[in-house]
Structure 1
Amino acid sequence: MGKVVLFMSVSVDGFFEGPDRELDWHRVDDELHGHFNETLADMGAFLDGRRTYELMADFWPSADADPSAPAPVAEFARIWREMPKVVFSRTLSSAGWNTTIARSVSVDEIRAMCAEPGGDLALGGADLAASFLALDLVDELRLYVHPVLIGRGRRLFPGADLRRDLELVETRTFGNGVVLLHYARPSAA
């Protein structure tokens, strides 16, 4: 049975984006990007909120067309285009690149997706993650803590009124100082 795995980059002070939605503080080098590619290539689908999907769709469909694109970038462009995607949006009218639009998060539909063969489901987007967490649909969290304090922006878990015990599955420190904290709910460990 597949799992829902939340993938998020955060600053040391808990922000996933800056006050103007900037992500320029992310420290993604070839080593970290290679890790993302290796991990995400085995997923069964990407589950994204509208903003995350639009951010991805603005760049990844043609990122490998640039001959100067680093190898990990070109590789991820192919992974992203080929991967089935579900974008959760009440307003999006169309989506390309192997994408289905879902109007709401249905516990039964997500559990049915997890029961299908094909791998785990990669969850992206802080607002969508909050919805999945509130419905107890997140099996694992892979938090990539970047060695930077940004002081303000949007927090990943802004005053969430929930408690979940987690087990540490793995830690990994990358050469650029990013630290992976990989947690699972006890029943999924």
Structure 2
Amino acid sequence: MRKIVLMMSVSLDGYMEGPAREIAWHRVDDELHQHMNDEIRMMGGFLDGRVTHELMSDYWPTADADPACTPVTAEFAGIWREMPKIVFSRTLKPGPAPWHTTVMPEVAPEAIRALKELPGGDLCLGGADLAATFLKHDLVDESRIYVHPVLVGAGKQTFPVTEFAPRTLRLVESRTFGNGVVLLRHAWDAQ
């Protein structure tokens, strides 16, 4: 069965973005970016909210056309364009959309559980608000949190206050990258 994998970059003080939605503090170098490419290439699709999808679709479809684009960035652009995407949005028109995207109006737990039963790679979940909804419905199987050695001070919390029961996670992997970013990979075993 496929897993829902929450992948997120966070500051040391727990924010996924600053107060003005800025993420320039992310410390992504070629080593970390290549790791992300290698991880995401094995996935079966992206699960994103509208805001995350719009940020991605504003840049990645043509990122590799920029002459200043690095090889690792060009590689991710190709992965992103070809990867199936499900975008959860109440404002976008439901159904097929550009870049192998399907828009769904809401998170229906039964539909997500059925999606996990389909063949293919794990599904990459992104975005704090969408993650909160998936957590509320106990739909997350694993998290890969990339902790950047930066204090942001304010912004959007990685795990916003939600109504879900506390749970203990099982550490599966930890890794420190040369730029100081630390991966904490946890299994969210059934309660």
- Give distance in 2, aligned partners of 1:8 and 1:118: 22
Q: 1:95, CA displacement in angstroms? A: 3.1
1:69 and 2:105 are equivalent in the alignment = no
In structure 2, distance between residues paired with 1:113 and 1:72 = 30
Q: 1:178 aligns with which of 177, 181, 191?
A: 181
Report how far residue 187 of structure 1 moved. Answer: 4.3
Matched, 1:84 2:84: yes
CA RMSD across the alignment: 1.3
Deviation at 1:67, TM superposition (A): 2.5
- Partner of 1:27 in structure 2? 27
Alignment of 1:110-121 (within 5 A): 110-121=112-123
Displacement of 1:27 in angstroms is 0.3
Q: Is 2:108 the counterpart of 1:106?
A: yes
Letter in 2 for 1:32: L
**Which string of whole-angstrom CA distances, capped at 9 and with x for unpartnered residues, describes residues 101-144 of structure 1?**
00010111111111111110000111000000000000001000
Counterpart of 2:42 in structure 1 is: 42
Q: 141, 145, 164: which is aligned to 2:143?
A: 141
The separation in 2 between residues aligned to 1:113 and 1:160, in whole angstroms, is 24
CA distance in 2, matches of 1:13, 1:160: 18
The separation in 2 between residues aligned to 1:159 and 1:91, in whole angstroms, is 24
1:6 corresponds to: 6
Distance 2:11 2:185 in 1: 16
**Number of equivalent positions:** 188
**Paired residue type of 2:109:** V
Alpha-carbon offset, residue 164 of structure 1? 1.9
Give the whole-Å Cα distance in 2 for the aligned partners of 1:78 and 1:57.
12
Distance 1:140 1:119 in 2: 13
Counterpart-to-counterpart distance in 1, 2:47 and 2:65:
25
Shift of 1:68: 2.1
Listed as ranges, the matches of 1:124-163 within 5 Å are 124-162=126-164, 163=166
Q: In 2, Cα distance between the equivalents of 1:138 and 1:68?
A: 37
**Moved beyond 2 Å, runs of 4+:** 158-162
- CA apart distance, 1:186: 2.5
- Judge which range, 160-169 or 35-44, deviates more: 160-169
> What TM-score, normalized by structure 1, do the two folds share?
0.96
| Unmatched segments (≥5 aa) in structure 1 | none
Note the residue ranges of structure 2 that are not aligned, 5 or more in a row.
Answer: none
Mapping 1:49-64, distance limit 5 Å: 49-64=49-64
* Alpha-carbon distance between aligned partners in 2 of 1:38 and 1:113, rounded to the nearest angstrom: 23
Q: Does structure 1 retain, via aligned residues, the 8 Å contact 2:132–2:160?
A: no
SS at match of 1:186: coil
Return the alpha-carbon distance in structure 2 between the equivalents of residues 187 and 101 of structure 1. Answer: 29
Whole-angstrom CA distance in 2 between matches of 1:78 and 1:135: 32
